[in-house]
Amino acid sequence: MKQLMTGNDAMAEAAIQAGCRYYFGYPITPQNEFTAYMARHMPQVGGTFIQSESEIAAINMVMGASAAGGRAMTSSSSPGISLKQEGISYIAGDQLPAVILNVVRGGPGLGNIAPAQCDYFQATRGGGHGDYRCIVLAPSTVQEGTELIQDAFDLAEKYRNPVLILSDGRMGQMMEPVEFKPRPKVETPPKDYILTGKKGRERRIIRSLFLKEPELEAWNKIIQEKLMKIEENEIRYETKMVEDADLILIAYGTCARNSKEALRTLREKGRKVGVFRPITLWPFPYYALSEVVRGARAALVVEMSAGQMVEDVYLAVKGTRPIFFYGRMGGIVPSATEIVQQSEKIFTEKM
Amino acid sequence: MPPNDKPYIEIVADRCKGCELCVSVCPKDCIELDTGAVNVKGVNPAKYVGGCVGCGSCVQVCPDVCIELYKEEKAKKSA
Amino acid sequence: MQTTKSHPKSLFPVSTHYCAGCGHGIVHRMIAETFDELGIQDRTIGVAPVGCSVLMYNYIDVDTIEAAHGRAPATATGLKRVRPDCIVFTYQGDGDLASIGTAEIIHAANRGENFTTVFINNAIYGMTGGQMAPTTLIGQKTETSPYGRKSENEGYPLRACEMLATLEAPYYIERVSVATPAKIRKAKKAIFKAFKYQVEGRGFTFVEVVSTCPTNWGMSPTDAMKWSEEYMEKAFPLGVFRDRGAEKDKTETGADK
C-alpha cells in the first residue's frame, strides 16, 4: 500500500524497518523531520534515541553503538556533516559499520537551508583525514531513498565501512507516494569484532592507532583491498534512452529528476538525448559512464554545485568526448527548462 | 624464596624503571636502588635489602606493579 | 606465608611504556584490582582516550576501543546503550576530558549515563610533550606557557569535579590523589565505589585522580609527588563532591536526622 510521506519521514521509517535501533542526532535544517521521526518512533520499537550535545558527539555515539554490535545511524545536513568528519574517519579507520544521512543544503559556511549538491567532493573523497572512502548512495525519489537507506545498513555491515546517503533539501522535504515493501533478509557476515566483554573468548580491541609504520601500512592495505572489492561489486547506476543518444545528460539525485524531464521535452523535439544517473557516487560508475558517453557525441553534466561530479566525469571519459557543465549554486535547482536550453545550445553550437 | 615468617617483598627487577617512589615511601628504608645492577631497561632497579614490616606502601606506590609483598594474612575478626 | 598483594588478574604482567614514576601505572593497577574484586573483567569494555594512556589496552586486559580525542564519553554512551549489561568505563586525561572533550563529558554526565569515568589530572599534556592543559596551575611553566600560566591570558585551572557537581544527574563524583600510599588506598576505594555503583546500575560515576607527570614537570618522581601534594591538591581539593549512595544510606538509616 502506498502512502504519501516526505523524504525525511519515509527514510526514517525505512531505517527503522531495516533494523536500525540506535539513532543519535542533533537538530539542523533541512533534516529535522528525520530526527523528529526517530524521536517519536524509536521508543515504540524498543530502540534508543538520543539528541546529542553536538554532531561530533552524535557520530561518536554511533561509533560506540556500532562497536557494541548495534545497528546505528546519524543524520544531519552539510555543516553538521562537516563536524562529523572526524568521527567518520575513526569509524573508517576502525572498520566499523555506520550509516550517515546528509540532507545537503547550500554552502559554504552557514550557506542556507535550500537543496544543494555542493558536498559531493566531501562525500566521495572520504571527507575526513586519511585514506578511506565512504560508500555514497544518492537517491532521486523518496521511494528510492527508502530502499537505499535499507541497503545502506547491509552494505555497512557487509564491508564494515561507513555508508553515506546523499539526499538534499528537496528530497527531504518533498512528499511522494511510497511503499514499504517486505525485504528479503540479507545475510551479513557474523560480527566477530564487536565488544561485549571478553567472556569465553580472547579479548578484542577496536582501534585505528598503529604506531609502527609497517603495521599501519598493512592496516591501510586491508582497507584498500576492501574498497577495491566494493568497487568491483557495488557500483549502481541508471540509464535512460542512452542507446541512440547524441547527448548524454549526467546527473544524480534531484538534478537527475529534472534531467529526465528535460529528456522528454528534448526527445519530443527530436533531439536524441539520454540520461545517465549514478546511484553510487562512490564507487563511481567510471567504466559504465565512459562506455555510454563514447557511444554518444557529447555529454552535459548537471549539478546543484559549481561543478564537482563533473570531475569524475572527466576522469571517466578521459577527453574522448566533449563534456559540458551546467550548475546552479546557492540552493537553486536547475530547472528542466534550463537543462533543455543548455542542451539545445550544445546541439546548435557545439555539434 | 626463603621460608620466613617475617614479611618481605620481591621486586621484578626487569619491570622496574628506577623511579625510586618505593624507596621514598618505605618507612624502614628497606629498599634501595641497586647501583651494582642494570636491568633490561638500562636502569638500576630497586632492590630489597631487608627489614620489611609489611606495611605495603611500596606496593601501593609502585607505578610498574613490580613489587610483591609476602606476609601472613591476618585472621579476619569474624573468622 | 601468603601473598597479600599479588598482581591483578586483569592487568598484564608487562612493562609499560609510561615514564618512570608516572601515575598512570598506579591507577591502572587500581582499576584492574577493582575488576578482579567485583568479578567484572569478562563483561567490561574500556574506552581509551587520546594521550599517553591510549595504549591502556596493552596493560588492562578487557575489551577496549580507542576514542577520538575527547569523545570517549560519547563513544561510551553508544556502547553502554547497546550493552547495558556490560561495564563501560572511559579513562581520560586532562587535555582529553577538560579541554577538547568538555562538551562530551558534561553532557554524558548530565544524561546520567550509567558508565564510569576515571579522569587523570596531571595538569599537563604528556604525549604531545608538555603543553599547557586546562588544569595547568597559575604560574606553572609548560611548553606553551613558557612564562608561566597567567590568568589574564589563559584563565584559571578548570575544576572538573566542581563543574560536574553542579549537575543533578551524576551519582558519584570524587577527587582523589596518588601522592602518598595512604592517598592511593583512598583512591582505590573511590574507584571501587564508582564501578560498584555502575554494577548496581546507579548512574554516572566519576573519579578524578590528581596525578603527576615527572617528565614534563621536569622533576624527579619523588619531587613530583611532593609537588602534587603541595600545589595540585590546593588547586584541586580532594574529597567527595557527590555520593547519592551515601545520601541514600543516611536517609534510610536516619543517621543524619
Domain ranges within chain C, ordered by starting residue: 24-252
Q: How many CA within 13 A on the CB side of residue A122?
A: 23
Say what the pLDDT of residue A242 is: 98
| pLDDT > 90? residue C66 | yes
The answer to whether A203 contacts chain C (CB < 8 Å) is yes
Q: Which amino acid is at C129?
A: G
Sort strands C116-121 and C87-93 into parallel, antiparallel or unpaired.
Answer: parallel
- Would you state the cell numbers that stand for residue C138, as one nine-digit string? 597559575
The CATH number of residue B47's host domain is 3.30.70.20
Say what the pLDDT of residue A304 is: 98
Which tops the pLDDT comparison, A26 or B4? Answer: A26
**Touch criterion met for C and B (3+ Cβ pairs within 8 Å):** yes
Query: What is the nearest CA distance from C8 to chain A, expressed in angstroms?
Result: 16
Are B72 and C1 within 8 A, CB to CB? yes
What residues of chain C have any CB closer than 8 angstroms to a CB in chain B? 1-8, 11, 13-16, 18-26, 28-29, 178, 180-181, 184-185, 214, 220-222, 225
Contacting chains of C (3 CB pairs or more, <8 Å) are A, B
pLDDT digits (tens, 9 = 90+) for C148-192: 999 999 999 999 999 999 999 999 999 999 999 999 999 999 999
Identify the closest residue of chain A to C51 by CA–CA distance: A209
**Torsion, Cα of A238, A241, A247, A252 (10° steps):** -20
> Which positions in chain B touch C26 (Cβ < 8 Å)?
60-63
Fold matches, A3-188+207-233 and A238-350: yes
- Split into its structural domains, chain B has a count of 1
Are B19 and C21 within 8 A, CB to CB? yes
Site of grid cell 613489587? B67
Least confident of A175-179, A327-331, B1-5, B33-37: B1-5
Identify the closest residue of chain B to C220 by CA–CA distance: B19
Of C63, C76, C83, which has the smallest distance from its Cβ to A203's Cβ?
A: C63
Domain ranges within chain A, ordered by starting residue: 3-188+207-233, 238-350
Query: What is the nearest CA distance from C1 to chain A, expressed in angstroms?
Result: 33
| pLDDT > 50? residue B79 | no
Assign a CATH topology to domain A3-188+207-233. Rossmann fold (3.40.50)
Provide the pLDDT confidence category of residue B5 given band limits of 50, 70 and 90. confident
Average pLDDT value for residue range B16-27: 98
> Which positions in chain C touch B65 (Cβ < 8 Å)?
7-8, 11, 13, 25, 28-29
Average pLDDT value for residue range C222-228: 98
* Residue B78 placed within a domain: no
User: Which CATH code, of 3.30.750.210, 3.40.50.10470, 3.40.50.920, 3.40.140.10, is assigned to A238-350?
Assistant: 3.40.50.920
Closest by Cα among A49, A71, A76, A72 to A62: A72
CB C245 within 8 A of CB C172: yes
Tell me the C-alpha distance between C161 and A180, whole Å. 50
Sort strands A175-178 and A3-6 into parallel, antiparallel or unpaired.
Answer: antiparallel
Architecture of domain C24-252: 3-Layer(aba) Sandwich (3.40)
- Would you state the cell numbers that stand for residue A169, as one nine-digit string? 533539501
Query: What is the nearest CA distance from C165 to chain A, expressed in angstroms?
Result: 19
> Which positions in chain B touch C225 (Cβ < 8 Å)?
21, 24
Closest by Cα among A287, A289, A284 to A134: A284
Of A56, A67, A203, which has the smallest distance from its Cβ to C79's Cβ?
A: A67
Closest by Cα among A310, A90, A252 to C49: A90
Which of the residues C1, C176, C183, C185 would you substitute to probe the B interface, choosing the one with the greatest number of B C-beta atoms within 10 Å?
Answer: C1
Site of grid cell 591502556? C56
Of C6, C11, C22, which has the smallest distance from its Cβ to B63's Cβ?
A: C22
Are C23 and B56 within 8 A, CB to CB? no
CB atoms under 10 Å from CB of A38, counted, come to: 27
Q: How far is CA A154 from CA A148, A149, A278, in A?
A: 10, 9, 20
Tell me the C-alpha distance between C209 and C177, whole Å. 5
Tell me the C-alpha distance between C122 and C212, whole Å. 5
Phi-psi region of A95 (alpha: psi -120 to 50; beta: other; left: phi over 0): left
Ranges in chain A, pLDDT < 70? none
CB A104 within 8 A of CB A75: no
Query: What is the nearest CA distance from B1 to chain C, expressed in angstroms?
Result: 11
Range of the domain at B52: 8-70
**DSSP notation for C229-241:** IIIIHHHS--EEE
CB-based contacts of A276, cutoff 8 Å, min separation 6: A237, A238, A239, A242, A248, A249, A250, A288, A289, A292, A293, A299
> Which positions in chain A touch C74 (Cβ < 8 Å)?
52, 56-58, 60-61, 63-64
| pLDDT > 80? residue C256 | no
**DSSP notation for A201-251:** S---EE-----SHHHHHHHHHHHHHHHHHHHHH---EEEES-TT-SEEEE-
CB C121 within 8 A of CB C142: no
Are B63 and C18 within 8 A, CB to CB? yes
| pLDDT > 50? residue C257 | no
Provide the pLDDT confidence category of residue B4 given band limits of 50, 70 and 90. low
Tell me the C-alpha distance between A169 and C194, whole Å. 46
Q: Is B74 helix (H, G, I), strand (E, B) or coil?
A: coil
> Which positions in chain B touch C122 (Cβ < 8 Å)?
none
Of A22, A56, A200, which has the smallest distance from its Cβ to C78's Cβ?
A: A22
Query: What is the nearest CA distance from A64 to chain C, expressed in angstroms?
Result: 4
CB-based contacts of A285, cutoff 8 Å, min separation 6: A235, A236, A237, A278, A316
Give strand ranges (E) for A110-191.
135-137, 162-168, 175-178
> Which positions in chain B touch C22 (Cβ < 8 Å)?
63
Say what the pLDDT of residue C23 is: 97
Of B54, B61, B71, which has the smallest distance from its Cβ to C181's Cβ?
A: B61
* Residue B75 placed within a domain: no
Say what the pLDDT of residue B78 is: 46
